[in-house]
Structure formats: structure tokens, C-alpha cells
């Protein structure tokens, strides 16, 4: 596993990460991680690697886009001094283009998304052990669907940045595609975005596999 003893893993993103996590910082007692994939990651690391003392912090905020992360990056990332930073962002950057088409101020173009993401990586990478980038996704198997096609563009940006900066990459869209060979997306999320427990477990397992957290219990 790439995490080391005593490491602090901060996981930041939008509502997919948030899921009722504690405020102002999603760490500590009484279900502080919330009920998202972050809680499954934290619980797995805690029970499978108890001697490691790994800290997991959930800093997701519902509705966030990449530019919202940038606006709060100092207080919600840098000031918390993580060893590792995991990012899942981009869904709302795309979604607003489809659910709010007449409000261009809420849209984030691929160019702006990439530029914003690049700034976050460049200001963070020198100060942490590493970063884990996860692709935004849309639970739609039809790749010709306009929103799915658009989301794939943003996922490709994340992959390109991960490769360019030699960061850990997690392809969530491909994980959904594999799952939906057997079940319908509506059984995971009515809006094709916010997953149920099965969906959050899928994200967590994909993340844990990417960081090499595969110790059997």
C-alpha cells in the first residue's frame, strides 16, 4: 500500500464525497466521515491496517465545482496539512451545462476545468507525498448520450493530468460501465449521479485497489 504509518489522507470533492460529513472538518467521532465512499475507505483502512494509524478526513461539499475547490483550498486542504490528497470533482462542472443550460455562469468549460485542476495540482504536489485523482462520471452506459459524452471529456482531462504529473489515477467511469453490464443504473442512483450504498462501495473498492490497500481481514 502506498500510504505509510501515521499518514493523513484528505478526500475532497462535491456531494458524492460529502454525504452528511461533519462540519467544519469531516474527521472524528459520531460518523464524522458521513455515509459516502469516504466512510468505506476510512473504515477499511482502520480495520484492515489498524497498526498504521492512518487518518482519513472528508472535506467534500455538495454542489462544488472545481473553482469552488480552488476558492477553499487553503483552509480546507493546505491548512490541514495532509500527506495525501484525493480529489473527485467535475460532475457539477458538467451537470450544470445540462440541468441549467440557460445559466452559462454556472458552466465550466473543459479548458477552464483543466486550467483550474492544473493550478490545484501544482500548488499541492510539492507539499504532499502524493495525490489521487478520480474521474467524474455519469451513470449512463450509452457513450453517445450528450451528457455521458461530455463527462468523458472531463474524465480524459483527469487522466491526462494524472499521467503528466505522475499521480495515482482512478477511472470511476469504467467501473460503472462494468457494473452496468449486470444491473441498471437506476438501481444505483435515481439521478444517475448520487449512488446508493452499493455505488459508494464500488467507488471505495476502486480507490482502495488503486492505492494497493488489499490486505485480507
Give catalytic residue positions. Answer: 15, 191, 194
Long-range contacts of 190-199 (CB under 8 A, 24+ apart): 192/138, 192/139, 192/140, 193/16, 193/91, 193/95, 193/138, 193/139, 194/15, 194/16, 195/16, 195/37, 195/139, 197/35
Decide: 21 and 34 in contact? Cβ < 8 Å.
Answer: yes
CA 200 to CA 194: how far, in whole Å?
A: 9
**E strand or H helix at 88:** strand 84-88
**4, 55, 85, 123 from 7: Cα distances, Å:** 6, 6, 11, 20
Amino acid at each position: 500500500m502506498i500510504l505509510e504509518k501515521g499518514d493523513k489522507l484528505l478526500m475532497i470533492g462535491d456531494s458524492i464525497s460529502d454525504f452528511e460529513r461533519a462540519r467544519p472538518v469531516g474527521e472524528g467521532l459520531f460518523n464524522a466521515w458521513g455515509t459516502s465512499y469516504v466512510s468505506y475507505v476510512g473504515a477499511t483502512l482502520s480495520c484492515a491496517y489498524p497498526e498504521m494509524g492512518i487518518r482519513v478526513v472528508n472535506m467534500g461539499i455538495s454542489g462544488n465545482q472545481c473553482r469552488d475547490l480552488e476558492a477553499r483550498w487553503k483552509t480546507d486542504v493546505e491548512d490541514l496539512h495532509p500527506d495525501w490528497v484525493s480529489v473527485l470533482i467535475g460532475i457539477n462542472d458538467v451537470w450544470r451545462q445540462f440541468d441549467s443550460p440557460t445559466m452559462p455562469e454556472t458552466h465550466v468549460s473543459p479548458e477552464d476545468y483543466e486550467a483550474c485542476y492544473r493550478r490545484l495540482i501544482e500548488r499541492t504536489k510539492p507539499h504532499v507525498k502524493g495525490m489521487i485523482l478520480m474521474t467524474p462520471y455519469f451513470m449512463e452506459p450509452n457513450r453517445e448520450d450528450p451528457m455521458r459524452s461530455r463527462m468523458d471529456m472531463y474524465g480524459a482531462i483527469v487522466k491526462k493530468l494524472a499521467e503528466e504529473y505522475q499521480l495515482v489515477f482512478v477511472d470511476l467511469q469504467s467501473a460503472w460501465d462494468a457494473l452496468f453490464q449486470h444491473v441498471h443504473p437506476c438501481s444505483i442512483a435515481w439521478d444517475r449521479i448520487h449512488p446508493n450504498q452499493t455505488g459508494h462501495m464500488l467507488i471505495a473498492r476502486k480507490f482502495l485497489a488503486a492505492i494497493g490497500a488489499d490486505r485480507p481481514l
